[in-house]
Each structure stands twice: as C-alpha cells, then as structure tokens.
Structure 1
Amino acid sequence: MQDVKDTTDPRASNKPSGERPSPTPNPGPSRQQALPYGIVGEGLKEVTRRVPEDEPPPLPENAKLKSIGKPVSRLDGVEKVTGKARYTFDVQLPGMLWGRWVTAPLPHARIKSIDTSEAERYPGVRAIHILERLLSSAQLRDPKAEQGNRYPTVRYAGQPIAAVAAHTPRAAEAAAKLIKVEYEPIPHVCQLEEAMKENAPRVFPGPTEQPATAGGGGAPPGLPQRGNVRGPDSKPLGTPGARGDVGKGLRESDVVVEAEYRTQVQTHVPMEPHGLVADWRDEVLTLYASTQFVNSVREEAAEHFDLPKSKVRVISDFTGGGFGAKYGIGNYGLMAIHLSRKAQAPVRMILDRRDEHVSGGNRPNSIQRLKLGAKKDGTLVALQLHSYGTGGIAGGAGVGFCHATLYNCPNVLVEQYDVFTNAGPCAAFRAPGQVQGIFGLEQSMDELAEKIGMDPLALRAKIDISGTDDCLARAHERRVGAERIGWSKRRPAGADKGPIKRGIGFAQSQWAYLVQPSTMCEVRVSGDGSVEAFSSTQDIGTGTRTILAQVVAEEFGLRPEEIGAHIGDSRYPMGPASGGSRVTSSLTPAARNAAYRCARDLASRLAPLLKANADEIVFADGKVMVKGKAGSAMPFREAVKKAGFAEISQQAGRRDDYEGYVMSTPDFALSRHGIGGVQFAEVAVDTETGIVKVERVVAVHDCGRPINPKLTESQIYGGVTQGVSYALYEERHLDAASGHQLNANVDQYKIVGSREVPKIEVIVLEQLGAQSSTDARGVAEPANVATAAAVANAFYNATGKRIRTLPMTPANVLAALRG
C-alpha cells in the first residue's frame, strides 16, 4: 500500500479504545539484523532491520527448508472426506433442543403485540424468547427519534422476531407458526436509487451510527445523514481519500475518462450455514459455533449476558466456509443462548438456506461515478469518485480504498455514501468494497490506456511505481502473467468476425497486509517426545492446522504429521480472526517464536545427555545431534525420553513488523506494505445469446513467504472461482412491492458450477519482505479482487464494447453490445 496516513481507524476493531500509533516498532531489547529481501529467483539482497533480541534467526528461502514452503497435504483432509470432522451442524449433545425462529413477513413495520400463549402449550416446547435487541443493524443516534416500543422496529422482510426451542425440529417449526404477531405496516423502500430520492420512505427516522464488529464493516462515526443517504466517507480504511485539487487537476489533464459502473448485491452462501449450539446448564456457557473468530463470539456473549470471559467457552472444531459474515454471535446465536438459559438445556439454532440468504449477510451493491484525468504520456493527474451503495439496514457499502492507494495520483477526491434500504444487513465479504472498486477502476485504466494509445500493461508500469515491495511484486507479476497468457498476441478489440468473439483482459489486485497483534501461540513438548501447538484460531477451510504444524515442525526437525496442531477453542492462547487475509501473517510468526523458545529450552535439557553446550544442539530429520558430529545423532523421541522431564511449554506472541505499522490497535494492525497480484482472463462472448464464458485465468500473486504452496494455490483457485461467479452469475433479487427476496435458495440464486469454472493457472511468488520471523502474509482476498475486472477488460477486447454493469447476464451483455 502507499500514501496511507499515520492514523488509526475506529472501524477496525470492536474495541474502540486503546488505539495506538506504532512509530517505533518492537520497543525493548533489539539487535541490528541482516535479512534476505526480494523475490526469490530474481536476485535476493540483504537489508538491515532492528529485530527483537528474542526473535529466532532469519529463515532462508523455502528451497533450503525442510517443512516450511513444502506442499504438505491437509493434515485434517482424511477427517473431512470421511465425515469424521465435526462441524457445528454435526454437534449433537444429550438433551439437545431444536431452535426455530419467527421472522417478519413485512419489510417495514411496528410490532403492536406478540402472543406466544398457544405456542407455549404446544407439545415438546421447552422455551420461547422474543428478541429485544437486533444485532447487525445501524442504530439511531437519538433513540427518541423513533416512537417508543418494547420490540425492535421491523426494517426488512425476514427480520428475526422470536424463537422457539422444542424437543424435535418438527415441533419447533409447528410451534413457531403459532406465535401471533400483530404488525402496523410502515412505507418501505428496498431499491437503491429509489431510496436516494428526497421523498423516499425513511428506513430510519433520524441519523444513525454503526460501530464495527469484529468482522469490520460498520460506518465511520459522525457522518452527515440526509434521509436514507449517509456520508460521504472520504477516508476508507483510514486512507487519504482527499488530497490536492481535483478540479484543477482535471482542467490541466490532456485526457479525461468518465464512466458509471454498477455492481450487484451478492450473498455469501457458505457450504455450512450460520449456526450455533448453546449449552448453558451450569456456571459455564459453552458455545459450538460456525465462526470465523471464536474470541469475538466469546466477547459478544460475555458482553450481552454480563458474564466474565472465563465463564464462556467457544468451540469451533471445523467451520464449513466463511467469507466475512461469520463473526460474533448473530441474532440466531443470541436467541439460542436465551433459549438455553430458559430451558436449562442445549439449544441448536442453524439457519436454513432462505434465512442464510436474507439475514446471513451480503456484499453491498454500488453505483460508482468515476472520473480520471491524465497527461498524454499516461501520468495520472486527477481521480474523482462518487459512489453509492446499500447494505440494507447496515452501513459499510463503500467501494474500497484502491482509488487513493493503488496508483500515484496527486489530486484525489473519494466520496462514498451508504444508502439505507429495507433489506437484510450487509457484512464483510472477501475483500469488502475492494472487489466493487477495482471493477470500475481497472476498466477506467484500460479505457485511459486506449485513449492515449498506450498498452494497458505499459500504463500500469508507469503509474504503479511507489517503490514499496507490493508494487515491485506487481511489476514482476505483470511480466510473468503476460508471457504466460500470450499478451503479445492479443488482437485489437472486436477483431473476431463471427458471433463468438474472444478476447484477453488484465486487472491488478490490491489488498492490505493485516496483522492481529494480540495473537499468541503455545508449544509443548511432553516427556514421551510428543510435540503440540495450541492457538484459539479457527480453520474455515484454508488449512490453518497444517501451516501451524509446518512452522512448528521446522524448528524441531520433525515432519508436520508428527505435530499435534490444536485450534478452535477459546481456552487456547489468543488466535487471530479468519478474515482480512490475516491468519497466516499473524499466527505463523507467533508459532515460530514459541517453537523456537521451546526448542531452545529442550536443547538445554538435552545438552548434558549429549555432553555439549545447549547452543550446539540441533534438531534435524527427526533426530537430535551435536552440530557437526553426525555420530551423536539420536532419534528425537528417544532423546526426549532420556532427558527425564514431564513437560515443557513456551508461549510467544506476534511481535510487531520490523518496520512497524501505519496504524495499530490491540486487535488490528495495518502494515506499511501490502499484498496483491495480477490476473489475466480469456473470455468467449456469444454476441447472439449474450452468454459469456470465461475460458482461462492466469493468476500471479504474492503473499510474502508461501508457507504451503499447495494451500496457497487452493486459496487462489477459490478466489478466482468466486470472482467468476460474481462477475457472471450471482445477484440477489428483491421484490420491490413486498421486500421479499425472490431467489433465496441455491436453485434460482445462480452460482458458478463445475462446468463454468475456467482453466486456472496459478503462479505464486516467494517474496521475502524482512518484516517478521516467517515473512508470511495472507492471500485469501486478492484472488477475488481482480477477477471481475479482468473478465470485464477481456470482454471489451473481445467485443469492442464496455460492460459496466454486473453480473454479466445475457440481458446485461446484450444491452452493453447495443452500446
């Protein structure tokens, strides 16, 4: 990243206090250390950083390592494919009850009364709870602006009202239907542009606020609100969204490109729906959650029910997907806990597919009005963006931070507005906002390149030159990707004569390099030679257990399969959230630091046995030996048993990056660098039917040091696939009259299928940035960010027509071709 202010962003954490700048990284004893820096294979150099004294020595490139950097298969793969893995959906507890909630049929209404008497008498019913506080919604700054009521105002069709717990699912379903709710309808609006009108029905009767949750989102505090329109936000993620004089820059430009882009609402649709099993039968509240952050579930539960955190335990053995919406307890979890307390029994609340679409979160839509000004040689002079998007009853409908940070431009004005509608709340979704923003920005860059007669790659080379390591990586990625895709053979736009037209397009990706500073890890060695690692982080399908084991195995000279990797329990040391591409960057340095300390502790205990000094003891290939004396080698387990101790244990945390952060809070830190990549797409467009087929994608990405190339590639495959699905198929459809979602299922809500997935070629750089003890960064977001934009630019190369509206359905394609 570049040009980011040294400031903190209150939206970045659910703990608004305690924010701190980080001008001096890693205070305390430190040493000057030479570290490898650069892209492996392109000529590494050494740089000097100030490193904490207790950090382990720097790692060489992956080729010289035994475990880190190797394509190890998922250690829990067999459990998953055999069904042994226990997801929240699979949790069965003795005496467990089934929860079912009641939702509002109207998009906007006041609740006049709720009668639960008949439901209470239904056979098998153990508890009923009426929701008194709605989560995941903006809240009025002045609660008195709304007519007083004991029940939350209904603001979207499908909003949860109450819940029932019964002995069987059928009984819970039947009893839920017996709850009588009397509504007073209020005028509603559920379409973005209608909601922007002065005379539109008001979703909220006054200005609102929405602090961020653990998953991000929310809205900056104190912004003006007029009707349903709140904003503008000119500092997305704390970036300087306003600098210079845009009007003057545009007047001084030789070329101006101006266009409007539109993107749709996309729902999350994880394989495992949102769900929670609450068990509050004794002093400890135990929650089994399908979550991206066990600690945020614990913190919210403790806060809502006035419990010490020590009395709340959260378990997430496996989570069946989570793209940003699975943070916190949610309204379903809130009700499950209330029901469990009332019934004195475990209660299971799992959303069905309709509820998942309607209430489980979504990526907001957008209208983006973007204007670029440049000189004839491609130098950017001005960039102006006005965007509007709706997250339903929630804030957070911005279009990312790329406009102010991806390219060098002296005059920038970014203004992003939230527009409230009577629709389900948005949530963080795999690079929130950035996917929408890049779709417009990268198309405009291609259009600018064409206007000045410049190759799109050459234009990026000219303006993407901040000098940070992520920009240097993209320069290399452009060259590698262009060669692989055959860019030099790309033909002029619309060159094909027949109805099927093919083209090649390209787009750049950008995401923040995030760290959770509070991350901890514990490593234990038992007297029998067992080695285990513990962190409360969770695995949402990315392979966290495996990379944890690989990092620890490297320090002990063992195989990853020999390491017990324990995660997904809030009783373990604090682990990072699975969101924002932060797990690998946060967890692996903490794990290595703990493993290094534990290995040195072990070496001191083995030294007398091997008649050597502790610093001469090395661990390699499953053995313990004295350095330089092969004859001293002893099997690891045998040596540990002979040392005669019961257990040793060491904990370590994630130290600050060696160059510090742009901003830092206890739970969120933003590096001075970034992550990203470039993507090239080949498409075929049937100009008669309007059907677009993505035939091939070349994805070249950087993520610092790849801890496990196989898992890294898997993440990129998933990001590209999800990006293609977003570009071509996915779209939520609401009925304007009733406010109901018309395709709240997995039939009519179209998602890319196996036949539509293109050939995907992944190239991952090994880039050492000299920032932490592992130099690892995340990779989940960038592969999703650039996909739709690359496909759109390929569409133009194929047809000679710009498509500025997503998804690329036949109707939108034919409209674009008509021009």
Structure 2
Amino acid sequence: MASYRKLKKSAKKEGKFAALAAALAAPAIGSAAPAATQSLTMPMGIPGVNLKTITREVPTDEPPVLAVNDKLNVLGKRTRRLDAHLKVTGQAKYTYDINLPGMLYGRMYRSPHPHANVKGVDTSAAERYPGVKAIYIIETVMGSAIERDPNHKNPKVQSTGGKFPKVRYAGQPIAAVAATTQQAADEAARLIKVEYELLPFVTDLDDARKPDAPLVYGGKQVSMEESGGGGGAAGGLPQKGNVRGPSTKSMFGGSRGNVEKGFKEAEIIVEGEFRTQVQTHAPLETHGMVADYRPDGLTVYLSTQDTAGARSEMAELFKLPKTQVRVITEFMGGGFGAKYGAGNYGVAATHLSKKTGVPVRIMLDRREEHVAVGNRPNSVQNLRIGAKKDGTLTAMQLTSYGTAGVGLGAGVGWIAETMYLTNPNFKGEQYDVLTNAGPGAAFRAPGAPQGAFALEQLIDELAEKVGVDALALRDKIDKSEMRREQRRVGAERFGWSKRQAPGSSPGVVKRGVGAAQSEWGRFIDMDSSCEVRLHQDGSVEIMSSVQDLGTGIRTVLAQVVAEELGLQPTDVTVRIGDTNYPPGPGSGGSKTTGSITPPARTAAYKVGQQLLTAVAPSMGVAASELAFVGGKIVAKSNAGKSLSFREAAQKLPTQQVSATEKRKDDYGGFFRPGVSFGQSGGIQFVEVSVDTETGYVKVERVVGAHDCGRPINPLALESQINGGILQGISWALYENRHMDRNYGHMMNANLDQYKILGSREVPQIDIIMVEEYTATSSTDALGIAESANVATAAAVANAVYNAIGVRIYELPITPERVLNALAKPKQKLGKV
C-alpha cells in the first residue's frame, strides 16, 4: 500500500475519494505475479426476481462458491452479538475506562474568540497549580484546511514568544495541560492567559459569500487532504474570498451531455432552493485518547474508527517506525465518520506523555465534542429538473454551496448525478464556503442526505406535475432493478396504494405518507487482512486490527469463520481493534464488511484445508472427500465416518496452524480502483402526523427496504438500518447547530439544547432486507450504514407535504417552519 504521506499527497491532487480508492487498490510493491485462476459458477441477482448464475475467473486459492443464504447454516441467520453481554453488564472497556499506573489527566485550553492572532501565551500560573506536571502549546492545528503559508507549522513555538497558529474558530485548541487529577487539569487550563489580536469574523454561510465578508484565510488559497472517512476537496480549484470552487467532477464522472439543450427539450421544469443545516455527530462517547509514550515505543488507547490509519498518522507525526507504535481500540461508543485521525487532542496527549514519561488521558467534554471535532456541513442547493410530459427526464442542473467551517468537503455528493441514469444531461457545480466555525468531517454518507433532500422532493414534484404516482415515475426513470424490487415490496408492506392526495387528510392533526430513495457507492479497502488460527485443543481465533464501532463486524467475522469450519459463531474467538494484529480496514464508508469478510473466509478455508489434510490418513479417505458439518469432520461418501472438530484438531502435527490473507481484487475487476460495480441503496416509506395548530410533526411509522449484497447477520443489519432511520429523523426534525453571529460561539453545544430524537419520538419501524448476489467476492457481502441514513429526511419531507399540501424546503422541519408554510398561499408546482 502507498505510504501514509504519499496517500495524503495523492488525495490532495486527485480529490475526494478518488486518490484514496486508487492507493488502496494498488498492488503492493514487490507483490507476486497474478495467481492462477479457475472458472467458477456463481449465483448472481436477486432471489425470486432475477437470480441466475455467472462464470467468473477466480484465483485457485480462493474458497469454493458459497450457496445462497437459505442453504447455509450460519451466514444469513439472525445472530446475537458476541459482545452483547460485555456491553450490557459494563465489562466492555472503552477509552474512557482505561486507567494505567501513574496516568495523568489532560485538558485543552481553547480560544474563546472565533478569529484572532495569538500574540503571546502565559502558562506560568497554570504551571504553578498543584498537581500540574506538564503543559504543551499547540504547534499545528489539525483538521482544518491548510493555507499556502510557510508559517502554518511552527515547531519551535515557546510559551513566551514566537509565532502561534492563527485562531480561526471559537474552540480552536491553543494549549493542553496534564495534571494528577482531572479537576486539577481543568482548573489549570483556565489559568492559562493568552494575548489576542482580535480579527473580524463570519459564521453564517450567506454572510460569508458576500464580497465584503471578513476573510477566514486572509484571501489565501487553501487545500485540504481527505481523511479515511472522506471529506477534503479536489485540489487546484479557484477561490474567491471565502468561496472555493466549483467542483464539477466526481468519481462517477461529473457533468454529462448538454444541459442547455436538455432544458430546451423539456416540456416541464421543476426547480427549487433547498437548505439543510449543520448537524454535529454527538456520539455517546466523546473523542479521546490515552497516550503512553515510552523509550521503547508509543501505545495509544484511542476512540477511533481506524486503528491502522491512526498508527500510520502517529508514526509520521512523532517520527517513529510503525513497529514502535501500537493503537488499541477494544470498544468505542459511536463514530459516524469523525473518528479517523488522532486529532489535536491525541497529539497533545502524546506530547504531554512524552514530556512526563507517564500515560496521559485526554477525553473531550461535550462542548468540545460539538465545536471542534467535526460536523455534517450545511447546504444551500439550487436544483432544476427538466422532463417531457410523460416524465422522461431531459436535464438536471445542480448548484450547491455549503460550509465545513474552517475545513473543506461541504459538497452534497453525487446522488443527483447517479440516481436516475436515464437522465442524459447533467451539470453539477458544488462550492465550499469558508466560515469561522469548527471544521466539518465525514458523517454517515458524506453529502448524500443533503443531496437526497433536494433531489427526492423535486422528483415527487415532477411526478405530481406529470400526473403519475411518485413510485410509478421512479419505475420509469430509475434503471436499478434492485430499487424497483425494493419499491415493490416496500410499497406492499407499507400500504402505499392507500395514499391520499396532498392536503386531503381531515381534521387539525393531518396524516401523510411519503417515500424517498437512497444509494451509496460500493467501496472496497484493499488494505484489509486478517489471520485465522486453529489450536490443537480445537479452539479457533481470528485476528485483525479492524475496529468494531458498534456496527457488529466482530460478530460478522465469527460467522464467516464458523460457516467455513462447520462451527457456531460462539466457537470462534475474535480479536480485533489492535494494530498488533494484521492491518484491517477503517470502519466507515460502508466498506468494512465488503473488505474484510473475503480475506477472513479465505484464511479460514486455508486453515480448514490444513486440518483436513492432517486427519485424512486416519480417516482413510482423501482430504478432498472430507467436509465440515455441524461441528464435525465428515466423509462425504459415508456420513457415519466422522470426527468431532476437537478430536480432529488433536491430530494436528503442530500446536497450531494458521493462515493470513488480504483482500484480493473483486472477481471481474473494479468499476474503478477500490469501487465495486453498482450501487447499494434502498427506499424509505414514512407516515407522519402534523398538528396544524402547533406545527408539531411526529413520524409515526417507517418501512425501509434495503440491500447490502449477501446479508451476513440480518439482526445486526436491522439494527444498522434502525440507527440510520432514527439519525435521519433526528436531522430532519430536531438537530441544528445555532451560531451566535455577534460572538462566533455555538450557542447549544450540549445535549440539552442541541435537540436529538429521544425514545418518545421513535416510530414503529419495519425493515425488509432484499438479498442480492453480485458474484464479486467469496462472500458477496457489503455494508449498509450509509444508505440506511440517506433517504430518511427526504421521505419525511415528502410525507409532510402529503399531509398538509405545502412543501417545506428547509431543514429541520420545525413547528415554526410548518406554521409559516401553512400561512403562505398554496405553492405552484414547477413551470411549464
């Protein structure tokens, strides 16, 4: 794999996702020649709809073809998570629970000003405070865009002078303190005195776009490398004031056809301006690290989605060989895309540990979590769609502006470009707007929920203008066979045929239904590997640094190994979240399952072949005539001739046998490096009630139909989809970052005033999993986290329109906005 430094430089040049995918898919330097292949017949398609077989050329060392799920014993079966008991009993150890001997506690000092030059930092009072052991002054601010300024990094900063990083948002870190107690560290941090030269600032997207707006980066060009979770922006784009762009390309190409010609051919045009708000990640577990810097190396306990990536970053930052850096994340409490790098807090903790020679823990408080470590950027989108009177699409044009604060990557994704490929003409222009607010970060399908909120509402408007049902129009303009099936089964389960005309619901509390679609790319991280070991006592373990952020990959790995060896998931010990194990992929982008399960199965298969070879002589048959069945090794021609798995393991010639495997190329190749052919997605059906006197919206019921290739654990998948739906409802109706324009502070940086959906707002949820076999790997499995979230807000908005007959174009859909919409004259749909 490309080095971390080369990967970052490549990402800067090639832009969002493309460079990362290319680097991850590149063959290793000095890798062996391509393996010999064999022709295998594999299932492909949707069972009960279009399932067929296809012949693929597959490496000869790959395991045999898996049958479809209903013919398997473990895969595709509802399986309780292996770590469930540990979590509910409090035995699972999170970063916050790490308590090492001699450990110190850290606290960051953060700027109270949104824009300022730092003239001096006085730490003398903090140094004298009882219990304080060390202070570190931030040298480089991570997570923000980088201006082309040679003074951006100031490695020789001292507490009594020198140049300091410029402050660009309230909450930007300036220094960190380590003390013997958390209370001492908190108090000492408050004693740090900083001399500021205050500068004009701007926190509002619309204000920042004005020609006379204060400049966040002084008019200098900026760039930003993408993280493992996405974000960042293409290099070389024009920048005027605080506005950078437009970005006109995507990994799927970007603009196509002739938009001007397409709109001239249109008989119907629908258009609108849509706005979405900033959403902060608000995980239950805040960002944090325990750093233990010793002469023989660095060990960090980090709440991260990517242990291998964090190890590379820490090794580079502290100029250590990777062999001297270990990252451990046994459990973590939510990530959603923002927990990829070490962050300013992690770098500070490590410097403090290096200074003191003992471990240092820094866990962010709730305010820091809101303001400084990521958010879903907001957006203003102008979307225009042209069509014939029969609904045939002729053109689509999208212009968007969004702010990731002092960062980049505030686009609205590629969903308008790729969802409806029957549209021959598309033009997209997406702009980043810099503001004096904390940087954005990847957040569960970066950009896609924003894009779907606009696209799926306008598709509904077009359907009404054409005079057809919204699903019927999608049947006409959507090429995806999978989504066609999802629309069919979802509509039947939901009762879509009973849908009434918009605004026709009687009474004060009106009911309405709506639907919206989602899609997400099938990303594969080629730097995904694991080891499977079988011991003479019959115990089996699998090891990988891949991290389980709560989505269930620990159990999925056990299921894959168990299926291959004829065992149960509880028979497999899973060791993950530690860079002492083979490097696994980061847990994000819905890429984890599709990346790590094929090498897990191959490693288990090779271990199994070693076991069969060892026992074949004693059973009097060839190894090829043996099979793993129900915890036994059985002769295929004589089921009565068998050995228990444990008895068989005792015949191994060594104490253990093992196999280490890494992800191979998809069978049939890639659409582009690291991206499989096709898209995953789904459709959400939503029923709402709207009180027209108070404006209160309640989501009553949701039916979601989704796909993720071969479902490995339907129970965990349902949990994932439930989470995506609830997070989408929360964004649609409640969550909103409020910034004070006069002082530049986030005014609701807590979990009291930053409203999140609670238990009383949870609707009835019904999930339909649709299997799809793509014949692309030995497991044919994919993730589902992103697509489960994308369509929810758009479906809620369409349902609200159906209830009250007035469309709302801005999130969140608050009572105030509902009442304001009802007070306006009825809207006209589109233009003819």
Aligned to 1:55: 62
Specify which of 601, 613, 618 is matched with residue 604 of structure 1. 613
Aligned to 2:348: 335
Alignment: residue pair count: 799
Aligned to 1:72: 79
Aligned to 2:97: 90
Per-residue deviation, residues 656-688 of structure 1 (Å, max 9, x unmatched): 111221222xxxx11121100011000111111
Aligned to 2:523: 514
Once residues 776 and 51 of structure 1 are traced to their aligned partners in structure 2, the CA distance between those partners, rounded to angstroms, is 17
Aligned to 1:216: 230
Aligned to 1:528: 537
For structure 2, the 5+ residue unaligned runs are 1-12, 28-32, 825-832
Aligned to 2:390: 377
Q: TM-score, normalised by structure 1?
A: 0.96
Q: Would you say 1:404 and 2:417 are equivalent positions?
A: yes
Q: Secondary structure at the match of 2:16?
A: helix
C-alpha displacement of 1:241: 2.0
Amino acid at match of 2:404: G
Aligned to 1:304: 317
Are the structure 2 counterparts of residues 143 and 623 from structure 1 closer, same or farther at C-alpha, using a change threshold of 3 Å? Answer: same
Asked if the contact 1:192–1:390 (Cα under 8 Å) also holds between the matched residues in 2, the reply is yes
Aligned to 1:575: 584
Aligned to 1:139: 146
Q: Would you say 1:696 and 2:701 are equivalent positions?
A: yes
C-alpha displacement of 1:304: 0.7
Q: Would you say 1:270 and 2:277 are equivalent positions?
A: no
Aligned to 1:591: 600
Aligned to 1:348: 361
Q: Secondary structure at the match of 2:704?
A: strand
Amino acid at match of 1:222: G
- What is the aligned-residue identity percentage? 56
Once residues 15 and 461 of structure 1 are traced to their aligned partners in structure 2, the CA distance between those partners, rounded to angstroms, is 34
Amino acid at match of 2:441: A
Asked if the contact 1:132–1:150 (Cα under 8 Å) also holds between the matched residues in 2, the reply is no
Once residues 205 and 455 of structure 2 are traced to their aligned partners in structure 1, the CA distance between those partners, rounded to angstroms, is 21
Amino acid at match of 2:672: M
C-alpha displacement of 1:618: 1.1
Specify which of 356, 365, 368 is matched with residue 381 of structure 2. 368
Are the structure 2 counterparts of residues 15 and 809 from structure 1 closer, same or farther at C-alpha, using a change threshold of 3 Å? Answer: closer
Specify which of 184, 188, 194 is matched with residue 181 of structure 1. 194
Once residues 33 and 624 of structure 1 are traced to their aligned partners in structure 2, the CA distance between those partners, rounded to angstroms, is 25
Per-residue deviation, residues 547-602 of structure 1 (Å, max 9, x unmatched): 10000001111111000111000111111111000111111111001111110111
Aligned to 1:33: 40
C-alpha displacement of 1:642: 3.3
Are the structure 2 counterparts of residues 14 and 81 from structure 1 closer, same or farther at C-alpha, using a change threshold of 3 Å? Answer: farther
Specify which of 739, 761, 766 is matched with residue 761 of structure 1. 766
Once residues 720 and 209 of structure 1 are traced to their aligned partners in structure 2, the CA distance between those partners, rounded to angstroms, is 34
Aligned to 2:3: none
C-alpha displacement of 1:282: 2.8
Once residues 134 and 150 of structure 2 are traced to their aligned partners in structure 1, the CA distance between those partners, rounded to angstroms, is 30
Aligned to 1:455: 469
Aligned to 1:3: none
Asked if the contact 1:13–1:214 (Cα under 8 Å) also holds between the matched residues in 2, the reply is no
Aligned to 2:550: 541
Query: RMSD of the TM alignment (CA)?
Result: 1.7
Aligned to 1:258: 271
Aligned to 2:681: 676
Aligned to 1:721: 726
C-alpha displacement of 1:811: 1.2
Asked if the contact 1:13–1:212 (Cα under 8 Å) also holds between the matched residues in 2, the reply is no
C-alpha displacement of 1:779: 0.5
Are the structure 2 counterparts of residues 422 and 11 from structure 1 closer, same or farther at C-alpha, using a change threshold of 3 Å? Answer: same
C-alpha displacement of 1:535: 0.8
Per-residue deviation, residues 214-265 of structure 1 (Å, max 9, x unmatched): 22101110000000000001113x2222111111211110000110000000
Aligned to 1:486: 495
Asked if the contact 2:153–2:165 (Cα under 8 Å) also holds between the matched residues in 1, the reply is no
Q: Secondary structure at the match of 1:662?
A: coil
Q: Would you say 1:319 and 2:332 are equivalent positions?
A: yes
C-alpha displacement of 1:43: 5.0
C-alpha displacement of 1:15: 6.2
C-alpha displacement of 1:816: 2.0
Aligned to 1:618: 627
Amino acid at match of 1:389: G
Q: Would you say 1:708 and 2:713 are equivalent positions?
A: yes
Aligned to 2:434: 420
Once residues 19 and 523 of structure 1 are traced to their aligned partners in structure 2, the CA distance between those partners, rounded to angstroms, is 23
Correspondence 1:728-739 to 2 at 5 A: 728-739=733-744
Aligned to 1:119: 126
Once residues 52 and 337 of structure 1 are traced to their aligned partners in structure 2, the CA distance between those partners, rounded to angstroms, is 44
Asked if the contact 1:732–1:741 (Cα under 8 Å) also holds between the matched residues in 2, the reply is yes
| 91-100 or 480-489, larger mean C-alpha shift | 480-489
Once residues 452 and 524 of structure 2 are traced to their aligned partners in structure 1, the CA distance between those partners, rounded to angstroms, is 23
Aligned to 2:10: none
Q: Secondary structure at the match of 2:286?
A: coil
Per-residue deviation, residues 112-152 of structure 1 (Å, max 9, x unmatched): 00011121121111110000100000011244799996211
Asked if the contact 1:699–1:762 (Cα under 8 Å) also holds between the matched residues in 2, the reply is yes
Asked if the contact 1:69–1:707 (Cα under 8 Å) also holds between the matched residues in 2, the reply is yes
Asked if the contact 2:304–2:341 (Cα under 8 Å) also holds between the matched residues in 1, the reply is yes
C-alpha displacement of 1:541: 0.5
Once residues 450 and 367 of structure 2 are traced to their aligned partners in structure 1, the CA distance between those partners, rounded to angstroms, is 25
Q: Would you say 1:443 and 2:457 are equivalent positions?
A: yes
Once residues 146 and 32 of structure 1 are traced to their aligned partners in structure 2, the CA distance between those partners, rounded to angstroms, is 55
Asked if the contact 2:140–2:152 (Cα under 8 Å) also holds between the matched residues in 1, the reply is no
Amino acid at match of 2:528: T
Aligned to 2:443: 429
Q: Secondary structure at the match of 1:243?
A: coil
Q: Secondary structure at the match of 2:308?
A: helix
Aligned to 1:5: none
C-alpha displacement of 1:10: 4.0
Aligned to 2:109: 102
Q: Would you say 1:652 and 2:652 are equivalent positions?
A: no
Q: Would you say 1:464 and 2:478 are equivalent positions?
A: yes
Q: Secondary structure at the match of 1:767?
A: coil
Are the structure 2 counterparts of residues 19 and 645 from structure 1 closer, same or farther at C-alpha, using a change threshold of 3 Å? Answer: closer
Once residues 268 and 139 of structure 2 are traced to their aligned partners in structure 1, the CA distance between those partners, rounded to angstroms, is 56
C-alpha displacement of 1:178: 1.4
Q: Secondary structure at the match of 1:642?
A: coil
Q: Secondary structure at the match of 1:242?
A: coil
Q: Secondary structure at the match of 1:214?
A: coil
Once residues 333 and 418 of structure 1 are traced to their aligned partners in structure 2, the CA distance between those partners, rounded to angstroms, is 27
Per-residue deviation, residues 277-316 of structure 1 (Å, max 9, x unmatched): 0000231100001010001110110111111111100000
| 360-369 or 650-659, larger mean C-alpha shift | 650-659
Are the structure 2 counterparts of residues 289 and 146 from structure 1 closer, same or farther at C-alpha, using a change threshold of 3 Å? Answer: closer
Specify which of 227, 242, 247 is matched with residue 241 of structure 2. 227
Q: Would you say 1:809 and 2:827 are equivalent positions?
A: no
Aligned to 2:9: none
C-alpha displacement of 1:11: 3.1
| 643-652 or 709-718, larger mean C-alpha shift | 643-652
C-alpha displacement of 1:643: 3.5
Asked if the contact 2:726–2:757 (Cα under 8 Å) also holds between the matched residues in 1, the reply is yes
Per-residue deviation, residues 321-357 of structure 1 (Å, max 9, x unmatched): 1100000100000100000000101000000000000
Per-residue deviation, residues 578-631 of structure 1 (Å, max 9, x unmatched): 100011111111100111111011111111121211111211111112212122
Asked if the contact 2:690–2:804 (Cα under 8 Å) also holds between the matched residues in 1, the reply is yes
Aligned to 1:502: 511
C-alpha displacement of 1:521: 1.2
